[in-house]
C-alpha cells in the first residue's frame, strides 16, 4: 500500500553540529536524489535551523528512508522514522508549533509553506503529500486563531533577544550588532526595536537591504566590510545570515578582543553556523548558539502548556478528518476508473448502435440525444450501488473488498509514470 513515511531529525535529539552533519546538498538536489528512486512516488523535505525532515510516498517508504539515512551517515541515535499515521500527526503538530524548540512559534508555519511550494515547483509532490501539507497549513492557522499558543516570544529570533537580556541582566544602554537582514535577522531586529538600548547596528552583504531595514525598524545600517569595527563597538552580536561559511572567524574576533576587558556576547542562530566555535576560547567572549535557547524555551513552556492542550484537541479532530479524507480518496480513485471504463464502453456501444440504425433510418440530433441520455442514465444507475459499497468499504478500512473490485474490473494500481502525469 502506498502511504507517507518520514524521517525526522530535530533539536529534541540532535545538537546543532549533528544536524549540520546530517545534511548534504541543497533542497533541489535532495529532492532530485529522493525522487530518482523508482520506489518513491512523491517526496518533500523541510530544513530549518533545528530540524531536517524528509517525507516520501512509497509502498516501501520505511526501507527507502532507512537506506537514505545510512547513505547520509546519520546516527540512529538522532533520527526518528514515522509511518503514515505518525507522519500525519507529526506534520500537524509541527505546523501548530508544538514540535518547535519555542512552543507555539509562528515562523515554522511559513517555512512549511515555502518548502512545500519548493517541492511542488520541483514536481516531486502529488495528491497524497498535497493533501497532508494543505491540511497541516490549515490546522496551523486554525490553532493560532483559536488559541493563544503564539503569545509572547515565540521564535528563535525573539528567544535570542531574551537570552541576551538574561545573560547581560538587561539590554539598557547596550550596543547591539545584528548580522544578516533576511527573515531571521528581520525578526531579531523587530524584537530588539521594542527594547531600550543605545543603538542597533545592522550589517548585511547587500548594504541597501540593511539600510531599508534600519529605516523601517530603527537602527544604523553599516557596511559589511567594516564588520570588525562594529564588532569591536558592540556588547552583543546576533548573527543570522544564510552564508555557507563562518561570517565571524576566530582571528577577527581575537583581534577585536585584544586589550578588551568587558565581555562580548555572541549569539549564533544561523544554520549552518555563522560564528567559528573556536571563538569561545578567547577571553571575555561568551558564545551561545541554538542549543542555548533551550533555557528560554523552558521559561516559556509553562505559560503555553494550557494553550498546547487546546491545540492537541484541535489536532485530534483535524487528524480524524484528514484520515477520513484519505479513505475517501482511496475509494474515489477506484470509482473514477470504474466510471471511466463504463462510460467509455457505453459511448462505444452507443455509437455502434447509432451506426446500425443509420442504415435504416435518418438519425438526427434528437434521436442521438435520446440514446445519449438513456445509456448515460442506465450506466449511472448500475454504478450507483457499487459506488456506495466502495465508499463504505473505504470508510471501514476494508482493503480486501477494494482490492477485489480492482481485480474484478481490471483497475490497475498507479505506477510511478502515471504519478508523473498527474502531478499538480
Helix 294-358 vs helix 84-95: crossing angle, to nearest 10 = 120
pTM above 0.75, yes or no: no
The answer to whether the CB of 147 falls within 8 A of the CB of 196 is no
Q: Residue 279 carries which DSSP code?
A: G
Average pLDDT score over the chain:
88
The grid cell for 348 is 462505444
The residues assigned a catalytic role are: 49
**SS3 for 215-253, per residue?**
HHHCCEEEEHHHHHHHHHHCCEEEECCCCCCCCECHHHH
pLDDT level of residue 298 (50, 70, 90 thresholds): low
Residue 114: closest CA among 67, 46, 194, 171: 46
Q: What is the pLDDT of residues 325-358, one digit of tens each?
A: 888 887 888 888 888 888 889 999 998 989 988 8
pLDDT at 418 over 60: no
Place of cell 479532530: 317
The answer to whether the CB of 140 falls within 8 A of the CB of 96 is yes
The pLDDT, as a whole number, for residue 420 is 39
pLDDT level of residue 423 (50, 70, 90 thresholds): very low
pLDDT at 192 over 90: no
The stretch 214-239 carries a mean pLDDT of: 91
The pLDDT, as a whole number, for residue 390 is 87
Amino acid at each position: 500500500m502506498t502511504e507517507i513515511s518520514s524521517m525526522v531529525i530535530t533539536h529534541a535529539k540532535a545538537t546543532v553540529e549533528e544536524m549540520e552533519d546530517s545534511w548534504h546538498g541543497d533542497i533541489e538536489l535532495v529532492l532530485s536524489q529522493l525522487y530518482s528512486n523508482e520506489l518513491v512516488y512523491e517526496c518533500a523535505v523541510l530544513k530549518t535551523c533545528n530540524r531536517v525532515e524528509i517525507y516520501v510516498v512509497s509502498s516501501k517508504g520505511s526501507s527507502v528512508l532507512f537506506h537514505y539515512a545510512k547513505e547520509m551517515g546519520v546516527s540512529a541515535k538522532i533520527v526518528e522514522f514515522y509511518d503514515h499515521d505518525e507522519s500525519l500527526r507529526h506534520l500537524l503538530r509541527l505546523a501548530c508549533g508544538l514540535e518547535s524548540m519555542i512552543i507555539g512559534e509562528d515562523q515554522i508555519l511559513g517555512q512549511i509553506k515555502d518548502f512545500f511550494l519548493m517541492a511542488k515547483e520541483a514536481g516531486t509532490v502529488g495528491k497524497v503529500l498535497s493533501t497532508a501539507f494543505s491540511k497541516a497549513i490549515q490546522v496551523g492557522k486554525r490553532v493560532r486563531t483559536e488559541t493563544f499558543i503564539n503569545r509572547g516570544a515565540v521564535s528563535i529570533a525573539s528567544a535570542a533577544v531574551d537570552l541576551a537580556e538574561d545573560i547581560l541582566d538587561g539590554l539598557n544602554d547596550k550596543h547591539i550588532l545584528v548580522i544578516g537582514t533576511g527573515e531571521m535577522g528581520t525578526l531579531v531586529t523587530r524584537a530588539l526595536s521594542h527594547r531600550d538600548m543605545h543603538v542597533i547596528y545592522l550589517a548585511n552583504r547587500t548594504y541597501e537591504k540593511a539600510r531599508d531595514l534600519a529605516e523601517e525598524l530603527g537602527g544604523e545600517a553599516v557596511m559589511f566590510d567594516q564588520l570588525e569595527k562594529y564588532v569591536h563597538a558592540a556588547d552583543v552580536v546576533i548573527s543570522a545570515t544564510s552564508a555557507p561559511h563562518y561570517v565571524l572567524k576566530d582571528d577577527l574576533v581575537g583581534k577585536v578582543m585584544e586589550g578588551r576587558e568587558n565581555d562580548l556576547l555572541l549569539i549564533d542562530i544561523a544554520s549552518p553556523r555563522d560564528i567559528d566555535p573556536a571563538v569561545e576560547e578567547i577571553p571575555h567572549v561568551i558564545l551561545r548558539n541554538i542549543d542555548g535557547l533551550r533555557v528560554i524555551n523552558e521559561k516559556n513552556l509553562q505559560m503555553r502548556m494550557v494553550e498546547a492542550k487546546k491545540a492537541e484537541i484541535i489536532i485530534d479532530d483535524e487528524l480524524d478528518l484528514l484520515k477520513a479524507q484519505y479513505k475517501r480518496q482511496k475509494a474515489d480513485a477506484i470509482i473514477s476508473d470504474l466510471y471511466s471504463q463504463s462510460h467509455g464502453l457505453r459511448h462505444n456501444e452507443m455509437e455502434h448502435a447509432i451506426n446500425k440504425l443509420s442504415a435504416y433510418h435518418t438519425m438526427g440530433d434528437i434521436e442521438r440525444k435520446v440514446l445519449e441520455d438513456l445509456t448515460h442514465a442506465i450506466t449511472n444507475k448500475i454504478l450507483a450501488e457499487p459506488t456506495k459499497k466502495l465508499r463504505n468499504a473505504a470508510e471501514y478500512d476494508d482493503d480486501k473488498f477494494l482490492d477485489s473490485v480492482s481485480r474484478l474490473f481490471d483497475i490497475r494500481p498507479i505506477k510511478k509514470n502515471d504519478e508523473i502525469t498527474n502531478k499538480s
